[in-house]
A and B are shown apart, each in its own frame.
Chain A
Amino acid sequence: MSGQADLAPAQSASTSRSRATRSAFARFGPPMLVVVLTIALWELVIQILDVPSYIWSSPTQIVETIQERFPDLMGHAAVTLTETLVGFGFAVFFGLAFGLLLHFSVMARRSLYPILIASQSIPTVVLAPVFVLVLGFGLWPKVSVVALFCFFPIVVGTIDGLTSVDREYIRMMLTLDASRMGIFRRVEFPSALPQIFTGMRVGATYAAIGAVFGEWAGSQSGLGWQMLQAKGRLDTALVFADIVFITVMALSLFGIVSLVERLTIPWARKGGVT
């Protein structure tokens, strides 16, 4: 009295290591090659045309500058990194909190969601000088710009994730005695996580840029501030060095969020609940 025919698992869990390495190479190899070739070409063009270094620096000049000014660059990077991380942290916290508020309160959703969407047409960048006027030249105006930059994608990810849950799961949970909170904890929130992480990844790419904008609006340190100084002195190589640092920072934050995502929701890559 038992259909044993289908007891075998749907798929074998083992994947060979060499295949994994090969697929990683297939994925990352081509873009890496493009990057390397671009840098080589850039170096070559600058050398051949003998472009003055204050107009455009070559990769080797940028690397030299980074080596010479390393402690200095790191000091400013620490400032910008702090602004970025604190701002991003605030955005994650308030983005999630706001998303949950809109999810749980019909009144909040009706009254605030349209405003939230409309507020997106305000370019956040232009608010940076206002923050400087109100909050001074320290950490907080930059944190505010970063947080504002990252807030929206996280809120939208949270709300979209929570509302796009398949109704059938909720109906099933209702017949399994789930309370509103039980449905939220066991179905809605986990199934919203992929979209929440997508929002956080988008936010992570904006965060460092937000900090730089904040510094441009008024500051006494940070990579953005250093960049303005270098520009004034026609120190183009240092400007590029700052750009390299900012890029590495943005990519790292993106990478960390992606890593946390992989570890938190391994099931999402196998197809979620929608």
Chain B
Amino acid sequence: MTPEAVTSTAAIELRGIRHRFGEVAALADVTFTINRHERLGIVGPSGCGKSTLLSAIAGLIQPDEGTVEIDEATTPGERLRRCALMPQRDLLLPWRTAIDNAAIALQNRGMKRSEAREQARPLFERFGLAEFEERTPDELSGGMRQRVAFLRTLMAQKDILLLDEPFAALDSITRSGMQEWLLSALEQEPRTALLVTHDVDEALLLTHRVIVMSARPGRIVRTLETDLARDRPRREIVTSPEFTALKETALESLEL
């Protein structure tokens, strides 16, 4: 368990999750807990059920077996109210400007558009998007679209962020910029975050704990504590012996 596990309560608790899509067994007996404001990474081969797992947590699907509990809430509707999902594709609406996309959750809850925009504006400034508020998605670069998509997820003001391969579509230089950006954003706005990725480095760098899943049907094959000293440049972290050792273990678990 993580050091903070002793002091903080579990935010999410999964017990014995199994799920099938017809003939396809997607998840086989997944059990784990996430603590409040912990960042948990999930890595695994593609098709192993990572997205399915996030859907189950979010309440978008009810797993065939097992329970998901978020702050004592267990019904899909209650879970839906507590989670915000950021998918791999930015899914920005092309008929809305960046700021209107980011503020959509507030409008969904019945807030007036002008007011929702006013609430989103400070975030644009804080997260390096000032002056891009009125751009439409096609006028933004891939990295910026992903930032707007993340702000949209933040603006939902949920305790739990489910990030499903948020940077997989970006080139590697943009991606490492985005990883640092995300880290600083989450430090400013702490949330309980699940980060699904197929990039082992990304998981180790950004999260407190990494779960390695097996090929389909997905099971947890290993849990890695990533208590790395993060107050160093990225280059130093990824070349440090602790990091290399963790990566080695992760890759071994992935059978790579």
Contact = CB atoms under 8 A, between A and B. Distances in A.
Contacts of A166: 91
Contacts, number: 110
Nearest to B179: A3
Interface of B: 55, 58, 60, 80-81, 83-85, 87, 89, 91, 93-95, 104-105, 107-109, 128, 135-136, 138-144, 152-153, 156, 158, 162, 173-174, 176-178, 180-181, 183-184
B116 to A, nearest CB: 12
Interface in A160-191: 166, 168-169, 171-179, 182, 186-187, 190-191
A167 to B, nearest CB: 10
B108 A9 contact: no
- Chain B, interface SS category: helix
A176 B105 contact: yes
Contacts of A9: 135, 139-141
Given A11-B139, A13-B139, A271-B94, 10 more contacts: A6-B177, A9-B141, A10-B139, A169-B91, A176-B104, A176-B156, A177-B156, A186-B108, A265-B95, A273-B94
6 contacts: A9-B139, A175-B84, A176-B156, A177-B156, A186-B108, A272-B94
B108 A179 contact: yes
Given A3-B180, A182-B107, A190-B95, A270 B83 contact: no
A45 B25 CA distance: 74
A1 B108 CA distance: 32
Contacts of B93: 169, 186-187, 190-191, 273
Contacts of B136: 267
Contacts of B184: 1-2
A169 B137 CA distance: 15
